Structure formats: structure tokens, C-alpha cells
Structure 1
């Protein structure tokens, strides 16, 4: 099979598989570039755009929720307004900090060692939080108090370090602040929509002229988008059921093993 075509498929799978799991999609894409030896800068905009396929998966799977919230907003129902308020407020820290630290974040994206250590540290953090957190007081996104939503928003910003995981930081932050597992996971899914749309818009604004190149064309982008969408659909449906039954420890151990393997490989290559 052609290496270029295989790279398109593989990056689409990696994005769809890891975007909503607490394992860091950005970190895996960075390590994939190191492992496969392709020029990461050539595929950078491709990786940004195919995130929209993963976002579309959330919209498709939860369209009834979005429809109900939209109708509730029109009817001025308090629960719908609280739902919207919580998403907007949790998103604001990412906007402010992301704009302020954009150049520094860009620099970290070229550091695979940072990804490896962040995978390990994040795995240990998940195990600790899973063991210590017992109180789960909030069972709906609209039920989360404003002050805790602000806390979740700031905790999400830790994921600007590649390898930390946006979904992992959001979910673990929510759990630490009293949100039950399923609601924490779904809040992470919904919060991904404005966060990833904002990050994609910023990248397109700054580097839109690099969207396609002699290496990566519109056909590649369309295929990667479709692959990430389909894979994300499957992953989201399986993930919610898995964490409801078994928690997040399996992902923590995966992070520790993957990060350790990455460090060893980077040291001996």
C-alpha cells in the first residue's frame, strides 16, 4: 500500500481513536510522526482540520441533547440556560490562556520527550484521582455550580502541554470537583466542540495558506476527516459504557506503558 495513503488513514484513525479518550490525541500524533518518520510540519494543518471530523461525531451522537437544549433556550427554561452557561464559562479560560501562550504551545508541539513524560505523569494522576475521589454530587451538566465549572475550565488548560490530554484533564478535573463519571465524560465531549473549533479557527487564521500543499491535498483532508469521524463515533459510544463500569484506570496504565515505551524508543533510536 502507498505510504502516503497509509499515513492519511493512520492519522485519521489516531485522531478519531484518541481525541475523546484521556490519552492525548496531540501527543499520539506527535509520536506517530517520530515513529513513522514523516515530516510533521507538512501534515500539521491536516491534523488540525481532521479534528472537525471528531467534533462532528459528538454532534451526531448527541443531536437529541443539543436539540433539547436549543428548544429549551427558546422556551427560556433555566436548565437549558445553565447548560449553555456552563459550556461557555468552561471554554473562556482556554481562549484567554491559549491566545496568551500560543507561541510557547507551538514550540512544545515539536518536543516528543515532553509528550512521553506527560503521558506518564497523566497516567499517575488518573490513578491517584480514581483512588481518592469518592464524592460524586453532580449528575448533570446543568447541575454543576458555576465556581466548579470555572475550575474545570482552568484545569482543561493544562492540556495545552502536549501529551496531557484535553479530555483527560477535563474529566479528571470534573471528577475532582464532584461530578460523576458519565457526566464528566459527556461534559468533556461537549466542551470539545467550542474548544476545538476555536483552536482550529485560530490555526486556519494564522496558517490558512498552508491548508493544502504539494504533499497533502483536499482529497487527503476529506479522507482523514471521514476516517476520524467514523472512528470517533465508535469510540465515544464504547467509552461512556466502559468508564461507567470500570472507571479510568485502564487508560492510566496505557498512558504509563506508552509513555515509558516512547522514552525508551527516543533514547535508543
Structure 2
């Protein structure tokens, strides 16, 4: 029973933090510091639960893009989504082949949280007062693809923060437009990462992973992810991301104090 509660809690942490710019991987690794470490497969696959939530929320937009591909604007947007995903997939494969693994120490995550918080404040300041642009350029698409890899390599960075603020700094400084592109790119990215991990584990032997616990965490991540994203999309319509930056900085400092040398 305690283990079931732990995996549900981890799923909730993932669902709440995956699309808020505060780093889901960082929060998961920190939570596992006290609730017990989980496999990379667990950490990656439950992210797909939050991605499923976003898929459901953006289902009309996805249907519009899929059925309206003959429209030049939709086709252009799809090509840019595909380009960002392809960059992430290729570089992600290279990083995986090089043997990259997530760190098990809190300190680098805390530092990434703090630095990312200051970066968000700088991005908000830089884009403030500029004419709002909803255009997703090729520059935005390429840099967002690269940003996803940076976030994967440095837990605590936050994939959503890296992609949203890269898009804003690259020219798409309309928060809802930048957020939508960042979230839509995340859909194939995380599904592909989860699928790769599942196939890899099945090849090694399904008994090496607690699939029941993984399924429970996946379900709790989906439910809480849906609620969190719905709230965030309403929030950014009239608010900036600055409160998230402040949270990151304060939380990172508290972690450095609470887990010295950790």
C-alpha cells in the first residue's frame, strides 16, 4: 500500500509540473530523493500521461492540422512542428547512444532551477513592450527543437520553459502562440521517448519493470496533467510567467540549503 501511494504521488507531481515551466523531471527526481528512486523508464513513460492530457486538450487543433493539411498555413505549421521534432529525435538518439543518464543528485537540479528562473525573468523583460507576434518562423522551429535536447540533458531546466521562452525570444513573443507550439512539439517527442523506453524494456524482459505501478502513475499523471494544463492556458491569457520564475529561484535556493552537497 505505501508503494502504491508513492507512485500515485509521483504521478501527481509529474502531471502538475510537466507543462508548468518549473521542471517535471527535476521535481520527480527530487520527490524520488525521499519516496525512493525509480527507473528512467518510469520517469519517461509517466511523462506520456501528461502528454496524453495535452493531446486531449488540443484535440481540435490537432484535428484541424491533420484534416486541413491542404491549407498552406496549416501545412507550413505542420512542417515546422515536424522539423522541431526531427531535430530533437536525431539529437536525442545521439545523446542516448552516448550513454547519457539522469543525475541522482539534487544540487545540479537546484542550480538549473535557479538559473532557469532568472532566464525566465530576463525573457519576460526582453519581450515586454514589443509588438505581439504569433508567427512561428523556421528560426523558432529549429531553436525549439534544440531547446528540447538542452532540457533533457540538464534536469531542472524544464522542457516547457526551455521551449516556450526560446520561442518567445526567437520572435513568437505572444505567450499563447509560443505555448501552443511548445506543447504541440512535446506530443510526438514524449510519445516517441516513451515508446522507445517501453520497447527497450520489453526487449530486456518485461519482468524488470513494475508495469502495474507504472500504469497507476501514468493514470494519475494524465488526470492531474489535464487539470494543470487547462488552468495554465487560462492563466497565461492575462498573466506573465514571472511567478513561476520566482518559484523556481526560491525552491532552488531551499533545495541547496536543505540538501547541502546532495
Same fold (TM over 0.5): yes
Runs of 5+ consecutive residues of structure 1 not aligned to the other structure: none
Give the secondary-structure state (helix, strand or coil) at the position aligned to 1:245: coil
Match of 1:116 among 110, 115, 118: 110
Structure 2 counterparts to residues 29-178 of structure 1, below 5 A: 29-36=28-35, 38-41=36-39, 44-73=40-69, 76-102=70-96, 106-134=100-128, 135-139=130-134, 143-160=135-152, 161-178=154-171
Match among 189, 200, 216 for residue 195 of structure 1: 189
CA deviation map 1:226-261 (0-9, x unaligned): 111110111111101212222101110111111111
Mapped to 2, the partners of 1:136 and 1:17 lie a distance apart of 31
TM-aligned CA distance change 1:245 to 1:172, over 3 Å: same
* Shift in alpha-carbon separation, 1:127–1:250, aligned structure 2, 3 A: same
Displacement of 1:25 after TM fit? Answer: 0.7
Call closer, same or farther: CA 1:6–1:149 in 2, change over 3 Å.
Answer: same
Task: Give the Å deviation of 1:221.
Answer: 2.3
What is residue 231 of structure 2 aligned with on the other side? Answer: 238
Q: Distance in 1 between matches of 2:87 and 2:17?
A: 23
Query: Which residue pairs with 2:4 in the alignment?
Result: 5
Alignment of 1:15-34 (within 5 A): 15-34=14-33
Distance 1:89 1:58 in 2: 20
Q: 1:29 to 1:84 in 2, by over 3 A?
A: same
Q: In the TM superposition, what whole-angstrom CA distance separates every residue of 1:181-207 from its partner, at most 9, and x where no partner exists?
A: 011111111111111122223323433
Shift of 1:208: 3.3
Unaligned runs of 5+ in 2: none
Cα pair 2:107 2:261 within 8 Å, conserved = no
Residues 21 and 167 of structure 1 are in contact (CA less than 8 Å); yes or no, is this contact kept in structure 2?
yes
* Residues 5, 11 of structure 1: alpha-carbon distance in 2 compared, 3 angstrom cutoff: same
TM-score, length-scaled by structure 1: 0.88
Per the TM alignment, residue 49 of structure 1 is displaced from its structure 2 partner at its CA by 1.9
Mapped partners of 2:223, 2:44: distance in 1: 17
Normalising by structure 2, report the TM-score: 0.91
Q: Which moved more, 1:109-118 or 1:179-188?
A: 109-118
Aligned alpha-carbon RMSD (Å): 2.1
**In structure 2, C-alpha distance between the alignment counterparts of 1:158 and 1:47, rounded to whole Å:** 17
